[in-house]
Amino acid sequence: MSGAVLAPDGVRLRLALLVSVAGAMIVALDGTVLLVAQPSLGHELGASVAQVQWTSTSYLLAVAALLVVAGRLGDRYGHPRMLFVGVLGFAAASAGIALAPGVRWVIALRAVQGVFGALLQPATLALLRLTYPANRLAGPIAVRTSAIGLAGAAGPVLGGVLVAHLGWRAVFVVNVPVALAIAAITRAVRAPSVPGPGSRRLDVTGAALLAIMLGALVHTLVGVPAHGWVGAPTLLGLVVVVAVAVVLVGHERRTPDPIVPAVVARSVPVTASMAILLLASGGMFGALFVANFFLQDVLRLDPLATGLRVLPLTLLMVLGAPLAGAALRWFGPRGVAVVGTLLVALGIVGLAVLSTLGPTGPWWVGAATFAVLGAGFATVMVTATGNVVGDASPGYAGVVGGLKQTAMNLGPTLGIAVAASVLLLGSSRGGPPGSGAVEPGGVVGTGGVVGTGAGMGPTLLVLAGLAALALVPAALLPSPDRSTP
């Protein structure tokens, strides 16, 4: 009798988890397979390096600018509906890109794809918050984190196979049936409706200001490798960001329905977790940016061998996420976040040591370093995501999901900007003329300092410091509740 009663709820939970994982994976796969397809795309369409770079930048600008707004829309109109519209639009944009006659069409449709990607991403987290009790979120979030790590590892392999046998357009064609399948499953998900504060009207002015501010910030950070931190375009961009932020804050204080509700903005666990994700992801992805040059330009490894060297990171992300979820129940968010942050920083320091060894370094040193980095980042992801989503009321599940995804988009952009600028600074001080140059489109060149490995150690230490800054907000997270068994 009890089994019959619990079965519908169990099915509902499994469907919500399946849709959440599938939605997160299709976005992660799309980004990683594109990196493999870009050279072939540029060659076939006769695109410049800058235009190829914009096939990534246009998507990033759209998705980063709209994630919080999309989450707020989900809070008002329903997250299954936003996820359904998001995956259908993602499929349509992918089909359009596959049929694109020129690179300008690809760039424009990638921006459209980013809009729909923004709609679906907060919904994947909000569904978990609406269907699982707050004290049971750690497990589903750990599964979602493991799936993202698996997608990140599978993306380059899948992309390589598709591009080699079917061409770059196949990378986008494969999105279509997968997205349609997710849309079909989404129709079966029945998330509880949450009336109340999350259903108030949308603050259109606040939404526009927030989108402009985030879009300007991402555009400025993307341009740092080309212009430097003190270049005129960077300074102008930062001035625009600050000016719009001031206007936004003033508007949010006056409006009765702010785009980021006051209860969310003032939540210490939410703001601390966002800071942790921003800093830790910045340090890690900046370090991976540098490590990619080291493995391919110093050790002379091909892309497949490079992927195999980094595989321990993925494996420990997949295996470490469930362990982090279990550790949360025993040690609480504060202790687990501190340990995860220390592991990320330690892993980046290990990469700095590895860069000094050059080709003579034993392979197991690199494997251990990437494993520590993966374990640490999985721990940070599970802890911070659980706090962001679990601390907010279900009525604000979408907006906090959008804030979390925004931090995860801004962090890597910041980290790569820091890495590229420090490498270039080392080049200008100690490298030969033209070393470490920035190619058109903001891509760091591989000659000189970058190509020889000089300057990589100091750059990685700076990135380790960036990740270690996450210890400050980690200390603000809740300690374990000893009163509950």
> Same domain, yes or no, for 241 and 96?
no
State the Cα–Cα distance between residues 417 and 404, nearest whole angstrom: 20
Domain boundary (139, 156, 190) is at: 190
> Same domain, yes or no, for 28 and 70?
yes
Q: Is residue 343 pLDDT above 70, yes or no?
A: yes
Q: Is residue 348 pLDDT above 50, yes or no?
A: yes
Q: What is the pLDDT of residues 284-304, one digit of tens each?
A: 988 988 888 787 777 777 666
> Same domain, yes or no, for 144 and 245?
no
Using alpha carbons, list the distances in angstroms from residue 6 to 2, 17, 169, 185, 198: 6, 17, 45, 21, 29
Q: What is the mean pLDDT of residues 234-242?
A: 94
**Of 166 and 392, which is predicted with more confidence?**
166
pLDDT recorded at residue 80: 86
Q: What is the pLDDT of residues 302-335, one digit of tens each?
A: 666 777 788 888 888 888 888 888 888 888 889 9
pLDDT recorded at residue 304: 65
State the Cα–Cα distance between residues 153 and 32, nearest whole angstrom: 8
> Same domain, yes or no, for 318 and 388?
yes
**Of 376 and 426, which is predicted with more confidence?**
376
State the Cα–Cα distance between residues 136 and 383, nearest whole angstrom: 13
Q: Is residue 453 pLDDT above 60, yes or no?
A: no
Q: What is the pLDDT of residues 29-77, one digit of tens each?
A: 887 778 778 778 888 888 887 788 788 888 988 988 899 899 888 888 8
Domain boundary (190, 217, 236) is at: 190
> Same domain, yes or no, for 395 and 480?
yes
Q: What is the mean pLDDT of residues 93-103?
A: 92
> Same domain, yes or no, for 89 and 155?
yes
> Same domain, yes or no, for 176 and 287?
no
> Same domain, yes or no, for 131 and 46?
yes
Please state the length of the chain.
485
CATH number for position 151: 1.20.1250.20
State the total domains in the chain. Answer: 3
Query: If DSSP codes are grouped into helix, strand and coil, which group holds residue 78?
Result: coil
With respect to residue 76, please indicate whether it lies within any of the assigned structural domains: yes
> Same domain, yes or no, for 342 and 401?
yes
pLDDT confidence of 445, banded at 50, 70, 90? Answer: very low
Average pLDDT over the chain reads 82
Residue 234 near residue 221, CB atoms below 8 Å: no
Domain boundary (190, 218, 247) is at: 190
With respect to residue 196, please indicate whether it lies within any of the assigned structural domains: no
Nearest-Å Rg of the Cα atoms of the chain is: 22
Which domain, by its residues, includes 235? Answer: 203-258
> Same domain, yes or no, for 8 and 28?
yes
State the DSSP code for 199.
G
pLDDT confidence of 454, banded at 50, 70, 90? Answer: low
Q: Is residue 341 pLDDT above 90, yes or no?
A: yes
**Alpha-helix residue ranges (DSSP H) falling in 228-301:** 232-254, 262-265, 268-293
> Same domain, yes or no, for 479 and 370?
yes
> Same domain, yes or no, for 463 and 440?
yes
Question: Residue by residue, what is the 3-state secondary structure of 284-350?
Answer: HHHHHHHHHHHHHHHCCCCHHHHHHHHHHHHHHHHHHHHHHHHHHHHHHHHHHHHHHHHHHHHHHHH
- 27: tokens are 């976005």
If one counts every other C-beta atom within 10 angstroms of the C-beta of residue 475, the result is 13
With respect to residue 197, please indicate whether it lies within any of the assigned structural domains: no
